[in-house]
Amino acid sequence: MTLKAIGIVRNEIKQRPEQGWEKIVSDIVIDSSLTEALDNLDEFSHIMVLLWMHQTAAGQLPMKVHPMGRQELPLVGRFATRSPHRPNPLGKTTVRLLERRGNILRVQGLDAVDGTPVIDIKPYIPGYDSADSARVPPWIRD
Protein backbone atom coordinates (compact mmCIF):
# COMPACT_ATOMS: atom_id res chain seq x y z
CA MET A 1 0.00 0.00 0.00
CA THR A 2 1.77 3.06 -1.26
CA LEU A 3 0.70 6.64 -0.70
CA LYS A 4 1.47 9.61 -2.85
CA ALA A 5 1.47 13.15 -1.51
CA ILE A 6 -1.33 15.19 -3.07
CA GLY A 7 -0.02 18.41 -1.58
CA ILE A 8 2.04 20.08 1.12
CA VAL A 9 1.46 22.29 4.16
CA ARG A 10 2.87 25.81 4.04
CA ASN A 11 2.97 27.93 7.20
CA GLU A 12 5.35 29.70 9.55
CA ILE A 13 5.71 26.79 11.94
CA LYS A 14 9.06 25.01 11.76
CA GLN A 15 8.84 23.02 14.99
CA ARG A 16 5.91 21.23 16.48
CA PRO A 17 4.51 22.90 19.60
CA GLU A 18 2.24 20.76 21.77
CA GLN A 19 -0.60 23.26 21.83
CA GLY A 20 -1.80 26.60 20.55
CA TRP A 21 -2.59 25.55 16.98
CA GLU A 22 -6.13 26.96 17.02
CA LYS A 23 -5.22 30.30 15.48
CA ILE A 24 -2.50 29.16 13.08
CA VAL A 25 -3.33 29.85 9.44
CA SER A 26 -1.81 27.51 6.87
CA ASP A 27 -1.94 27.15 3.13
CA ILE A 28 -2.35 23.67 1.74
CA VAL A 29 -0.84 23.66 -1.72
CA ILE A 30 -2.41 20.83 -3.72
CA ASP A 31 -0.73 19.35 -6.79
CA SER A 32 -1.92 21.51 -9.66
CA SER A 33 -2.96 18.46 -11.68
CA LEU A 34 -5.72 17.97 -9.06
CA THR A 35 -7.03 21.54 -8.97
CA GLU A 36 -10.38 20.74 -10.56
CA ALA A 37 -11.03 18.00 -7.99
CA LEU A 38 -11.13 20.77 -5.34
CA ASP A 39 -14.17 22.40 -6.92
CA ASN A 40 -17.14 22.81 -4.55
CA LEU A 41 -15.02 22.08 -1.49
CA ASP A 42 -15.50 25.68 -0.37
CA GLU A 43 -19.22 25.04 -0.03
CA PHE A 44 -18.20 23.38 3.24
CA SER A 45 -17.10 25.46 6.22
CA HIS A 46 -14.82 22.73 7.57
CA ILE A 47 -12.65 20.06 6.01
CA MET A 48 -10.56 17.19 7.29
CA VAL A 49 -6.92 17.04 6.35
CA LEU A 50 -5.06 13.74 6.34
CA LEU A 51 -1.34 14.14 6.83
CA TRP A 52 1.79 12.05 6.68
CA MET A 53 3.57 13.03 9.86
CA HIS A 54 7.03 12.80 8.40
CA GLN A 55 8.90 14.08 11.45
CA THR A 56 8.01 11.13 13.63
CA ALA A 57 10.38 8.65 15.23
CA ALA A 58 11.45 5.61 13.27
CA GLY A 59 11.84 2.11 14.61
CA GLN A 60 10.05 0.18 17.31
CA LEU A 61 7.57 2.24 19.34
CA PRO A 62 6.66 1.57 22.98
CA MET A 63 3.11 0.21 23.24
CA LYS A 64 2.20 2.63 26.04
CA VAL A 65 2.72 6.36 26.33
CA HIS A 66 1.88 9.29 28.56
CA PRO A 67 -0.67 11.41 26.62
CA MET A 68 1.00 14.52 25.16
CA GLY A 69 4.21 13.46 26.90
CA ARG A 70 2.78 14.61 30.23
CA GLN A 71 4.27 12.40 32.93
CA GLU A 72 1.49 13.20 35.40
CA LEU A 73 -1.09 11.56 33.10
CA PRO A 74 -1.49 7.77 33.19
CA LEU A 75 0.42 5.48 30.85
CA VAL A 76 -2.09 4.39 28.20
CA GLY A 77 -2.09 2.36 25.00
CA ARG A 78 -0.68 4.25 22.03
CA PHE A 79 -3.88 3.84 19.97
CA ALA A 80 -5.83 5.52 22.77
CA THR A 81 -3.83 8.70 22.09
CA ARG A 82 -3.34 11.06 19.16
CA SER A 83 0.43 10.75 19.32
CA PRO A 84 1.96 11.23 15.86
CA HIS A 85 4.21 8.27 16.62
CA ARG A 86 2.13 5.28 15.51
CA PRO A 87 2.59 2.29 13.20
CA ASN A 88 1.42 4.40 10.26
CA PRO A 89 2.24 8.07 10.95
CA LEU A 90 -1.13 9.36 9.78
CA GLY A 91 -2.62 12.54 11.15
CA LYS A 92 -6.20 13.70 10.82
CA THR A 93 -7.29 17.21 11.71
CA THR A 94 -10.59 19.00 11.30
CA VAL A 95 -9.99 22.61 10.26
CA ARG A 96 -11.92 25.65 9.19
CA LEU A 97 -11.63 26.31 5.45
CA LEU A 98 -11.07 30.04 5.12
CA GLU A 99 -10.63 30.25 1.37
CA ARG A 100 -9.94 28.17 -1.70
CA ARG A 101 -8.04 29.84 -4.51
CA GLY A 102 -7.16 27.55 -7.39
CA ASN A 103 -5.04 24.75 -5.98
CA ILE A 104 -4.51 26.46 -2.61
CA LEU A 105 -6.65 25.88 0.46
CA ARG A 106 -6.25 28.40 3.27
CA VAL A 107 -7.20 26.82 6.58
CA GLN A 108 -7.18 27.67 10.26
CA GLY A 109 -6.21 25.30 13.06
CA LEU A 110 -4.07 22.78 11.21
CA ASP A 111 -1.60 21.24 13.67
CA ALA A 112 1.18 20.49 11.21
CA VAL A 113 4.57 22.04 10.56
CA ASP A 114 5.66 23.63 7.31
CA GLY A 115 6.47 21.00 4.70
CA THR A 116 4.20 18.25 6.02
CA PRO A 117 2.90 16.07 3.15
CA VAL A 118 -0.89 16.04 2.68
CA ILE A 119 -2.37 12.73 1.55
CA ASP A 120 -6.12 13.40 1.45
CA ILE A 121 -8.72 16.14 1.86
CA LYS A 122 -12.29 15.32 2.85
CA PRO A 123 -15.32 17.50 3.55
CA TYR A 124 -16.46 17.52 7.17
CA ILE A 125 -20.02 16.24 7.38
CA PRO A 126 -21.77 16.73 10.74
CA GLY A 127 -23.56 13.58 11.83
CA TYR A 128 -21.30 11.30 9.81
CA ASP A 129 -18.06 12.72 11.24
CA SER A 130 -19.34 13.84 14.62
CA ALA A 131 -20.70 11.82 17.49
CA ASP A 132 -23.07 13.57 19.83
CA SER A 133 -22.86 12.31 23.37
CA ALA A 134 -19.37 10.86 22.87
CA ARG A 135 -17.70 9.86 26.12
CA VAL A 136 -13.98 10.40 26.83
CA PRO A 137 -11.81 9.45 29.81
CA PRO A 138 -10.86 12.02 32.47
CA TRP A 139 -7.19 12.13 31.39
CA ILE A 140 -8.27 13.55 28.01
CA ARG A 141 -10.38 16.28 29.60
CA ASP A 142 -7.53 17.43 31.86
Give the residues lining the site for a copy of itself (CB under 8 A). 1-6, 34, 36-41, 43-46, 48, 50, 52, 63-64, 74, 76-82, 86-88, 90, 92, 94, 96, 117, 119-126, 128-131, 133-137, 140
| 23 Cβ contact list (under 8 Å, min separation 6) | 108, 109
The distance of closest approach from Cβ of residue 114 to a copy of itself in the complex, given in angstroms and rounded to an integer, is 18
Q: CB 125 → a copy of itself: shortest distance, Å? A: 6
Please state the closest distance from residue 77 (CB atom) to a copy of itself, in A. Answer: 3
Residue 74 in contact with residue 129, Cβ under 8 Å? no
Q: How far is the CB of 13 from a copy of itself (least distance, A)?
A: 18
Task: For residue 110, count CB atoms less than 10 angstroms from its CB and return exposed for 0-12, middle for 13-18, buried for 19 or more.
Answer: buried
* Residue 59, Ramachandran bin (φ over 0: left; ψ between -120 and 50: alpha; else beta): left
Looking at the Cβ atoms of 10 and 123, the one nearer to a copy of itself is 123
